[in-house]
């Protein structure tokens, strides 16, 4: 029997990971698609007059098996890839895209939704139901339900091709990261934790000794500490050329084709550009509003970055090096400058940020804010590195939380939150199974940088959005919100990492258990805005390139357009985009962040203002403010427009000033 097709009997309905083989997935997807098609046909062909229950609610449950199998498979494919899983991903991409088009192109089904939409004022719907009907109607129209004949067929073909290309793009980046390493033959100047992490990376790759890989948690500290400029350049070049090496994994042609297809898709739906199409349902609404936000921050960020670059270049020359400051020099000299300005030794600091201590910190904050408790679950998972917790409140099960924190060759880069199962009440109280995946360097014990710890808290903010969701319909559950609103909970949760009482309690020396000395803690917090010119410039450059790609006609040569955008911005020569086009996974592995990379900054405008709501009470854990945060943001999902939800929490929408202040870029 296929364990994917039988009831899952693990704790809280977890999959029987130990019984699942890669060969089980293809037939399970086939069964899921067959069941979903039959259910959709039954809804569309129902002779009874359309009602919210027999149409919208029926659609909510129509793909239950397919959703269950997909939730498991795509989590495994991202976090623990195999050749079989990658092959199945490529096979599934056009099939799942075709099925999605079948649903939205089903004229009888759309007619039922149109009937409900026309009569929406007379249906007696509650606010959540009215919102769900609006979103279904919008989804069908934006998917081309009003197109007929050749136009509908062409749009279906475009979406299918985009799904295939997005899968290829992601797999190419993983292949590039998996194939490159640099033996660490000289460890002079490198801290012990970095050498240990390189040794662990070498073991994972089957190398004879320690290696530097393209994992961010390994290569960034290498660039910060390696005194050998030639080695820094070698590593940095490999890191920034992922997907652009002229080999079988080159993504430049894929990016060009995807941009052309997106423009074609937007035109077919009556939009002037893909950016116009994509931003219409978001908070920003228009490319002009996005550009205005980014440029309001760009000018002070660039000015700060150029001033910092002049200082670092002077350090470079005093170090006996010639020529201008290069991108592979920035982190090395910036780390030295930070140590001088703030008396912070990053290696010593890491001793107070063990992974286990920071997990305890993130759980403690969630307990104090929302009353959640986390008990370890002793159950088999998909990889030995993964671990699970039973999340409860007042003795009631809330969710299962899974954490998978260490880099490995089978895992794509970056950090993310996803769900094996999302919360909903329709059809029974379904509690979520939420996963945080990171790529920290493995060690015994695992030590994090302050930035790593911030990433940990960030992804856990997304997890809270999923775990505390309290809606009836899965369509609006958890993180099913506007893309430029989804980062609010995650970026907001980062603030609690730097609350002094949190650090005093949890930032303890990994060997002695002693708390971080108060003077070190103060220096760490005082350095909070250090190098924000650099960080802001590398982010906005990526966001502006993304926006330019999707406005107007698609570029025949995306790399040429990338260069033109950076030149028009006056990009500092010693800073590069955070994500160059050939490995810009946010934008090209799917449509999620296409024309939407700006959303991190859009959400940051709100997260700075939202944390100020706690600060204004004098208590970072103020119960009343936390209750409002849960009620109007974390539990509400997409039940209302994002600006309505935020205004209910805060009373008004914020301006950009809080963001500039938080990044230390506010000009007096």
The pLDDT tens digits of the residues spanning 373-392 come to 999 999 999 999 999 999 99
Q: Which helix (H) or strand (E) holds 434?
A: strand 433-440
- Same-domain check for residues 69 and 130: yes
Question: What per-residue confidence (pLDDT) applies to 55?
Answer: 98
What is residue 419's three-state secondary structure? Answer: strand
Instruction: Answer yes or no: is 63 within a domain.
Output: yes
Average pLDDT of span 602-628: 97
Kindly state whether residue 40 falls inside one of the protein's structural domains. Answer: yes
- pLDDT tens, position by position, 131-159: 999 999 999 999 999 999 999 999 999 99
Q: Read off φ and ψ for residue 136, nearest 5 degrees.
A: -65, -45
204 and 123 in a common domain: no
β-strand partners of 421? 433
113 & 190 share domain:
no
Of all residues in the chain, what percent carry a pLDDT higher than 70? 100
Same domain for 232 and 120: no
- Give the integer Cα–Cα distance in Å for 187 and 169: 34
Q: Is 546 within the bounds of a domain?
A: no
| Domain housing 216 | 180-240
Q: Is residue 490 part of a domain?
A: no
Q: Would you say 402 and 433 are in contact if contact means Cβ atoms under 8 Å apart?
A: yes
Q: Quick one: 129 and 236 in the same domain? A: no
Q: 233 is written with which tokens?
A: 């350049």
pLDDT band, residue 666 (cuts 50/70/90): confident
* Sign of the alpha-carbon dihedral angle for 600, 603, 608, 614: negative
CA distances from 91 to 65, 129, 217, 413, 562 (A): 19, 36, 32, 22, 31
Active site residue 459: yes
Res. 444 pLDDT band, cuts 50 70 90: confident
- Given a cut of 60, is residue 613 above it in pLDDT? yes
**Residue 265: inside a domain, yes or no?**
no
Can you give the pTM of this predicted structure? 0.96
Tens digits of residue pLDDT in 68-92: 999 999 999 999 999 999 999 999 9
3-state secondary structure of 9: coil
Catalytic residue among 57, 168, 177, 459: 459
Residues 6+ apart with CB under 8 A from 634: 370, 464, 465, 468, 469, 489
Domain boundary among 142, 163, 191: 142
Distance, CA of 225 to CA of 195 (rounded, Å): 11
pLDDT band at residue 342 under the 50/70/90 scheme: very high
Residues 125 and 218 in one domain: no
Of 189, 213, 240, which residue is a domain's last?
A: 240
Residue 451's alpha-carbon distances to 60, 221, 408, 447, 524, in angstroms, are 39, 11, 20, 11, 12
Please tell me whether residues 44 and 100 are part of one structural domain: yes
Q: Are 203 and 442 in contact (CB under 8 A)?
A: no
What separation in angstroms does the CA of 88 have from each of 289, 326, 346, 394? 40, 42, 43, 42
| β-pair partners for 392 | 373, 397
Burial 629-643 (b: 16+ CB within 10 A, else e): bbebbbbbbbbbbbe
| DSSP assignments along 458-523, one per residue | HHHHHHHHHHT---S-GGG-TT-S-HHHHHHHHHHHHHHHT-HHHHHHH-B-TTT-PBPPHHHHHH
Confirm whether 124 is domain-assigned.
Answer: yes
Decide if pLDDT at 564 tops 60. yes
Asked if residue 216 is part of any domain, the answer here is: yes
> What mean pLDDT value characterizes the chain?
97
Q: Quick one: 100 and 197 in the same domain?
A: no
Tell whether 113 and 18 lie within a shared domain.
yes
Per-residue pLDDT at 658: 86
Task: Give the CATH number for residue 74.
Answer: 1.20.1050.40
Q: Across residues 150-178, what is the average pLDDT?
A: 97
Same domain, 25 and 96: yes
The number of domains in the chain is: 2
Rounded Cα–Cα distance for residues 93 and 432 (Å): 25
Q: What is the pLDDT of residue 668?
A: 57
Asked if the bond preceding 445 is cis, omega within 30° of 0, the reply is: yes
**387 — phi, psi (to 5°)?**
-140, 160
Give the separation between CA 77 and CA 382, rounded to whole angstroms. Answer: 11
- Let me know whether 188 and 121 are in one domain: no
Q: 62, 596, 399, 380: which is closest to 389 by C-alpha?
A: 399
Examine the fold and report which residue of 194, 219, 240 is the final residue of a domain before the chain moves on.
240
Q: At what angle do helices 483-497 and 642-650 cross, to 10 degrees?
A: 30
Residue 341, in any domain of the structure: no
Q: Classify residue 393 as exposed, middle or buried by CB count within 10 Å of its CB (0-12, 13-18, 19+).
A: middle
Q: Is the pLDDT of residue 652 over 90?
A: yes
Same domain, 115 and 21: yes
**How many other CB atoms sit within 10 Å of the CB of residue 571?**
20
Note the pLDDT of residue 346: 87
| Cβ neighbour number for residue 382 with a 10 Å cutoff | 19
């Amino acid at each position: 029997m296929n364990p994917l097709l039988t009831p899952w009997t693990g704790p809280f309905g977890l999959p029987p990971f130990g019984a699942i083989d890669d060969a089980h997935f293809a037939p399970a997807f086939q069964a899921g698609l067959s069941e979903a098609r039959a259910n959709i046909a039954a809804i569309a062909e129902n002779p009874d007059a359309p009602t919210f229950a027999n149409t919208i609610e029926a659609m909510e449950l129509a793909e239950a098996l397919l959703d269950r199998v997909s939730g498991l498979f795509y989590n495994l494919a991202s976090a623990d890839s195999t050749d079989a899983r990658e092959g199945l991903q490529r096979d599934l991409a056009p099939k799942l895209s075709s099925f999605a088009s079948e649903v939205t192109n089903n004229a009888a089904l759309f007619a039922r939704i149109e009937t409900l939409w026309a009569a929406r004022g007379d249906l007696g719907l509650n606010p959540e139901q009215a919102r769900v009907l609006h979103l279904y109607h919008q989804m069908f129209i934006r998917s081309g339900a009003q197109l007929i004949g050749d136009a509908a067929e062409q749009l279906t073909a475009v979406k299918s091709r985009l799904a295939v290309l997005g899968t290829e793009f992601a797999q190419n980046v993983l292949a590039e990261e998996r194939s490159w390493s640099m033996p660490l033959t000289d460890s002079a100047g490198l801290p012990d934790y970095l050498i240990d992490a390189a040794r662990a990376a070498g073991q994972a790759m089957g190398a004879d000794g320690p290696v530097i890989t393209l994992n961010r948690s390994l290569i960034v500290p290498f660039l910060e500490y390696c005194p050998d400029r030639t080695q820094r350049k070698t590593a940095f070049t490999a890191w920034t050329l992922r997907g652009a090496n002229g080999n079988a994994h080159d993504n430049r042609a894929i990016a060009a084709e995807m941009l052309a297809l997106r423009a074609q898709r937007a035109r077919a739906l009556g939009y002037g550009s893909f950016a116009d199409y994509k931003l219409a349902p978001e908070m920003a609404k228009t490319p002009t509003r996005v550009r205005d936000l980014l440029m309001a921050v760009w000018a002070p960020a660039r000015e700060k970055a150029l001033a910092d670059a002049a200082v670092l270049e002077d350090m470079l020359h005093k170090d006996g090096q010639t020529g201008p400051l290069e991108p592979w020099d920035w982190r090395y000299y910036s780390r030295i400058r930070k140590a001088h300005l703030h008396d912070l030794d990053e290696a010593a600091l890491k001793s107070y940020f063990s992974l286990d201590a920071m997990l305890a910190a993130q759980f403690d904050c969630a307990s104090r804010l929302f009353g959640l408790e986390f008990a370890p679950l002793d159950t088999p998972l998909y990889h030995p590195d993964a671990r699970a917790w039973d999340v409860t409140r007042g003795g009631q099960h809330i969710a299962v939380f899974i954490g998978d924190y260490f880099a490995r060759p089978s895992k794509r880069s970056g950090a993310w939150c996803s769900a094996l199962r999302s919360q909903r009440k329709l059809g029974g109280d379904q509690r979520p199974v939420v996963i945080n995946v990171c790529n920290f360097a493995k060690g015994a014990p695992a030590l994090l940088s302050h930035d790593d710890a911030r990433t940990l808290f960030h992804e856990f903010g997304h997890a809270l959005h999923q775990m505390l969701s309290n809606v009836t319909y899965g369509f609006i559950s958890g993180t099913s919100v506007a893309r430029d609103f989804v980062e609010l909970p995650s970026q907001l949760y980062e603030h609690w990492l730097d609350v002094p009482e949190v650090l005093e309690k949890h930032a303890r020396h990994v060997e002695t258990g002693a708390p971080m000395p108060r003077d070190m803690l103060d220096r760490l917090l005082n350095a909070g805005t250090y190098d924000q010119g650099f960080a802001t410039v590398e982010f906005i450059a990526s966001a502006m390139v993304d926006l330019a790609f999707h406005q107007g006609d698609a570029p025949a040569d995306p790399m040429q357009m990338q260069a033109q955008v950076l030149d028009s911005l006056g990009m500092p020569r010693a800073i590069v985009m955070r994500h160059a086009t050939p490995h810009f996974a946010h934008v090209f592995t799917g449509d999620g962040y296409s024309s939407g990379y700006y959303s991190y900054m859009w959400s940051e405008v709100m997260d700075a203002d939202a944390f100020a709501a706690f600060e204004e009470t004098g208590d970072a854990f103020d119960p009343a403010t936390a209750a409002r945060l849960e009620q109007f943001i974390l539990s509400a999902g997409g039940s209302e427009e994002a600006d309505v939800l935020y205004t209910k929490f805060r009373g008004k929408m914020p301006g950009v000033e809080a963001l500039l202040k938080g990044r230390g870029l506010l000009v007096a």
